[in-house]
Amino acid sequence: MKDAPLMDKSQRIAKLSKLLKAADCPAIAFVPGPNFYYLTGVSLALMERPTILVVTAEGDAHAAIPALERDRWAADVPHARTVYWQDSDGYSDALAKLAKQVGGQQLAVEGNRMRQFEAAALSTAFGSAVSDGTAMLASLRLIKEPEEVSAIQRAIDVSEAALVATLAQVRAGLSETEIRARLQVEMLERGADGPGFDLIVLAGGAAADCHGIPSSERILKPGDALLFDFGAKLNGYSADITRTYFCKEVPEPHRRFYEVVLEANRVGRDMVAPGVAIHDLDHAVQSVLRDAGYGANIRHKVGHGLGLDIHEAPQLMVGNHETLQEGMVITIEPGLYEPGVLGVRIEDDVLVTESGAKSLTSLPRELQVIGR
């Protein structure tokens, strides 16, 4: 991953500082991942060496960083008070020094990312059990900056161009893994840092497995659905798009299956606007599927937030009574699944604007036959 060229780190630290003060939380610790990258612009690996960033409610940044990352960290995050440690010395003393710098305050951690051994080591260093700050962090990256939207759009543009090039090569007789490999190569050739997640390419009845794993043994046949759930990553930001095609011909019962999902996608996109309750959005989209007689074929919520994480807040599902806000980037991805027979999902990446939904994805949604 390239380091982020777009972020104002001080503004992001200030935003986090406000969240900490509102929650009466003195400090919070991060390990490498989306929030770490968001706050520093540096992508480091989550490995066996504890790599810790602590931000206080006053907006001060402290860190304990393995010595092998020293040069890049010092260049890119010079404002952080950093303790460096060598493998031969271990990390216990470094974390103790970090705690002393921070002031030994009660510490929260991002509980959905930090591993148990890191949390335990920080508890020992700070002298008390750490608390889970996951809920407090949910709003940190909720509203996207214009530069973030542009970064997501670039990832989408690369992804869509790669899929178009891949579709021109698809034909009956190719395996799922062969098609996936061609898609990944097309992404890389167009400048992607890599895929944003494990690319899903599923044919025929396998497409009913929402997050199935492509197989070299499943071969595309005429009449098969071919589902792509894919997205390129650029500078930390990813696309997340799904399209479903049919090889050479469309079995008539499958046509209605597809058209119902298409209508649900349209209803979802048309409903997106600031102030819309997320609960109501998911209910409306799922109602299209249920009212068409396919309630038993629903497997998942209508969508999720998109940014540095493929799945991030908000989660678009019944029971979430939060409202959409201008500046959110979300997915709208209704799907229907008949085990062993067929799966259809149509997923778009959507920006919530003052006037409603702006689709960042531009691939056609209408039913298409490929491989002729």
Domains and CATH numbers, the chain: 9-137 (3.40.350.10), 146-370 (3.90.230.10)
CA dist 107 and 64 (Å) reads 15
pLDDT at residue number 2: 46
Give 62-98 pLDDT, tens digit per residue: 999 999 999 999 999 999 999 999 999 999 999 999 9
Q: How many residues belong to the chain? A: 372
Element (H or E) spanning 158, and its range? helix 146-167
Q: What is the pTM of this model?
A: 0.94
- The Cα-based distances of 220 to 164, 173, 195, 339 in angstroms read 18, 5, 23, 17
d(CA 268, CA 287) in angstroms, rounded, equals 11
User: Max alpha carbon distance in the chain (Å)?
Assistant: 69
Mind listing the pLDDT tens digit for each residue in 214-226?
999 999 999 999 9
pLDDT (0 to 100) of residue 105: 80
pLDDT in single tens digits along all 372 residues of the chain: 444 445 578 899 999 999 999 999 999 999 999 999 999 999 999 999 999 999 999 999 999 999 999 999 999 999 999 999 999 999 999 999 999 999 978 999 999 999 999 999 999 999 999 999 999 999 999 999 999 999 999 999 999 999 999 999 999 999 999 999 999 999 999 999 999 999 999 999 999 999 999 999 999 999 999 999 999 999 999 999 999 999 999 999 999 999 999 999 999 999 999 999 999 999 999 999 999 999 999 999 999 999 999 999 999 999 999 999 999 999 999 999 999 999 999 999 999 999 999 999 999 999 999 998
**161 exposed, middle or buried (CB, 10 Å; 0-12, 13-18, 19+)?**
middle
DSSP calls for 252-310: HHHHHHHHHHHHHHHHHHHH--TT-BHHHHHHHHHHHHIIIIIGGG--S-SEEE-SSSS
